[in-house]
Amino acid sequence: MSSLPYKPKPGEIPTDPGVYRFRDAEGRVLYVGKAKNLRSRLSNYFAPPHTLHERTRRMVMTAASVEWTVVATDVDSLQLEYMWIKEFDPPFNVKYRDDKSYPFMAITLGDEAPRVLVTRNRRIKGAKYFGPYPKVWAVHDTIDQMIKVFPIRTCSDSSYKKAMATGRPCFPGQIGRCGGPCSMRVSVEEHRAIVQDFVAFMAGGDQRFARELTARMREASAAMDYEAAAVYRDQLSAIEAVLNRSALVLGEDTDADLFGIDEDELAATVQHFVVRGGRVRGVHATTIEKELDISGADLVEQVLQRTYGEAAGADIPRQVLVPSLPEDAAELEQWLRDRRGRPVSLQVARRGRKAELLATATVNAQQALNLHKTRRTSDYVSRSQALTDLQEALGLGEAPLRIECYDVSHLAGTNVVASMVVFEDGLPRKDLYRSFGIAETTDDTDSLRQVLRRRLAYLDQPDEDPGTVSNPVADGEVVTERKRPRFAYRPQLLVVDGGRPQVEAAARALAEAGHSEVALCGIAKRLEEVWLPGEEYPVILPRTSEALYLLQRLRDEAHRFAITHQRKRRRRDIQSVLAEVPGLGAARIKALLRHFGSVAALKDATPEQIEELPGIGPKLAASIHAHLAAR
């Protein structure tokens, strides 16, 4: 990529830590990144074009200049990177789509007399937020319980100002629904103290309030002040009602944030569990659209930067649990410590209840990603738009109502299998999926050609198909009709997983079968390019197009189905091999595979490691090892 006019000369880029920006010809910032060593990192962008990820290559080719800023420490680079991404919103950095469908509880701490309200607006200046909550009524119900114990203001700003100007309580205050200064029962200072207790309880479910109320209730009862004791009893019941809404998932003294993440080549989803006082106080869902190729650890770093970029103090917990530690984990810890003012531990939860809760967050992220990918293809309008977009992008004469997608899977050249998945009207038809075993092949293109020739042969079957169906009609007459096999239905579009070589191999199979009229395209490895036969350059679909979502779903389904079939075959193969070992029954074979987790791990195990499994002695372990080594 030496032809790029803006490529820095050797030695111009410093080796210090810093933050860099790529700009286009108009000066727009395209991408912001950071590095411990600027020279080492930026040199990667100017490597030979064929070694770069497609989206990285497109970004570098689009850019007209690159600039950098050296900083004193890696922690400073974290902060500067966050500020620049927020300021410039670069198109090649990841895009966040927060889940804004859930309501929050907000306490307007920036007001003279803070109020509590239900809102979806996350930008109220000086407000403290709790949630999100699954339903609006859940927030209102929590507030109703809380103001019984901490009577703070609930009235609108206009009602508050009118009451303070006239000296007459606001209407909610007259009916006991507002405890602010506008109710004429407390001063601004006294109300502020109650608000602080309200926030402290919601932030940690502080058990001290329950203990204090219990002590006051007993004192009042002992003094025979039963009216006051009843008030304390009702307040205690309200606190317990709020606490019981969220189960105790960790120790009562645990404050932590857990981030479950699931991702594919184009998108990622994040489930942020907020745990305070051992209870889940809120769940934040975020969908991320990725432009450049980014590793899971780097994604964790960017998620943490965005989550805590403007947080401080109590908003940052003592522990932050993530699925993997980024390269700059130590610098991130220091950055979080500086913002919190106290130590913060950044770690991966590997065992115990924290690991279980992180696994739950990850499962939620997986479900959210599946929902994100299928939502557009499940909606009728979106499906119709996707098929129309495909028709236009590929130059088809009609919308592809039946699409078949093919993928080849193998294990180091062995156990080669292929899959065919079928979408009709933009929806998967799993009853029409097919799998193929390939006995001999030279490479993926040859495998694909074989499979398509076998599949296309069904299109030439005569109408006289042996399958029949009998339908009774009037007067007891029975008419026998031929039943056309679904495998013989003609697709409007064939999609193969791969780039130009795979598409050309599929085109040869179509020509040899005499069915060149069937449309064909290929999906490149990262779903960035759509290749057509005979074309020198690919079709680039907009990332927001419905067609791209449909193609992604097709490719994912074909890959999943191929892998599933291959694993079943491998499992059958290894079980049949192990069954040849004398003294090794079905139960022990299952125990072996379950213990070692994979066929590769079992083959690499020593006799001593195999012997560790209950029920397998030295002699049997040696036999298993020798038998597998001979295969």
- pLDDT tens, residue by residue, 97-109: 665 556 778 889 8
The pLDDT assigned to 468 comes to 47
Task: Using a pLDDT cut of 70, give the percent of the chain over it.
Answer: 82
Length of the chain: 631
Contact by Cβ (8 Å): 447, 441: yes
> Residue 66 — very low, low, confident or very high, per pLDDT cuts 50/70/90?
very high
Superfamily of segment(s) 379-461+486-566: UvrC, RNAse H endonuclease domain (3.30.420.340)
What pLDDT is recorded for position 20?
93
- 130 phi, psi to nearest 5 deg: -135, 140
**Res 142: pLDDT:** 73
Rg of the chain over CA atoms, in angstroms? 32
Predicted pLDDT at 494: 93
Buried b (16+ CB within 10 A) or exposed e, 286-312: bbbebbbebeeebbbbbbbbbbbbeee
Contacts 24+ apart (CB under 8 A), 386-390: 386/426, 386/545, 386/546, 386/547, 386/549, 386/550, 387/425, 387/426, 387/550, 389/541, 389/545, 389/546, 389/547, 390/493, 390/547, 390/550, 390/551
- Cα angle value 190/196/198 (rounded, 5°): 105
Token pair 């947080």: residue: 311
> Which tokens in the block code for residue 44?
């990667």
Residue of 290, 53, 265 lying closest to 44 (CA atoms): 53
Q: What DSSP assignment string belongs to 131-199?
A: ---SSHHHHHHHHHHHHHHS--B-S-HHHHHHHHHHSS--HHHHTT---SGGGTSS-HHHHHHHHHHHH
* Residue ranges of the chain that CATH labels 3.30.420.340: 379-461+486-566
CB within 8 Å of 368: residues ≥ 6 apart: 262, 269, 271, 285, 287
CA distances from 177 to 115, 230, 581 (A): 12, 19, 78
* DSSP character string of 376-431: HHHSHHHHHHHHHHHHHHHT-SS--SEEEEEEEEEETTEEEEEEEEEEETTEE-GG
Whole-angstrom Cα distance, residue 161 to residue 497? 65
List the one residue out of 194, 200, 104, 205 whose CA is nearest residue 153: 194
pLDDT at 346 (0 to 100): 92
Torsion of CA 189, 190, 193, 194, to 10 degrees: -140
- Could you tell me the end-to-end alpha-carbon distance of the chain, in angstroms, rounded to an integer? 47
Name the pLDDT band for 153 (thresholds 50, 70, 90).
confident
CATH code 3.40.1440.10 region(s) in the chain: 18-93
| Cβ 90 vs Cβ 30: under 8 Å | yes
Average pLDDT value for the chain: 79
The confidence score (pLDDT) of residue 473 equals 44
Residue 464: per-residue pLDDT: 46
Residue 496's Cβ-side half-sphere holds a number of Cα atoms within 13 Å equal to 29
In tens, the pLDDT along 464-492 reads: 444 444 444 444 444 444 444 556 678 89
pLDDT at residue number 600: 64
Asked if the model's pLDDT at residue 377 lies above 90, the reply is: no
Q: What is the pLDDT of residues 387-440, one digit of tens each?
A: 888 888 888 888 898 999 998 887 656 668 888 999 988 888 888 888 888 877
Which of 112-126, 251-265, 403-417 is predicted least confidently? 403-417
> Which two structure tokens, joined as six digits, stand for 621?
């372990």
524, 555, 558, 559: which is closest to 541 by C-alpha? 524
Question: Residue 308: in which H helix or E strand, if any?
Answer: helix 296-308
Mean pLDDT of 249-263: 83
Gap between the Cα atoms of 539 and 524, Å rounded: 10
Nearest CA-CA partner of 265 in 530, 444, 22, 55:
55
**Angle at the Cα of 267 from the Cα atoms of 318 and 51, rounded to 5 degrees:** 105
Q: What type of residue is 134?
A: P
Domain 580-629, CATH class in plain words: mainly alpha
* Class of 256-373 in CATH: alpha beta
C-alpha span between 467 and 485 (Å, rounded): 7
pLDDT at 126: 82
Helix residue ranges per DSSP H, 413-543: 444-456, 500-513
Fill in the DSSP letter of residue 518: S
Rounded CA gap, 198 and 209, in Å?
Answer: 10
Closest CA to 523 of 549, 498, 506, 553: 498
CATH 3.40.1440.10 is right for the domain spanning 18-93:
yes
Block residue for tokens 């994604």 = 299
- Considering the chain, tell me which residue range(s) the CATH 1.10.150.20 domain(s) occupy: 580-629
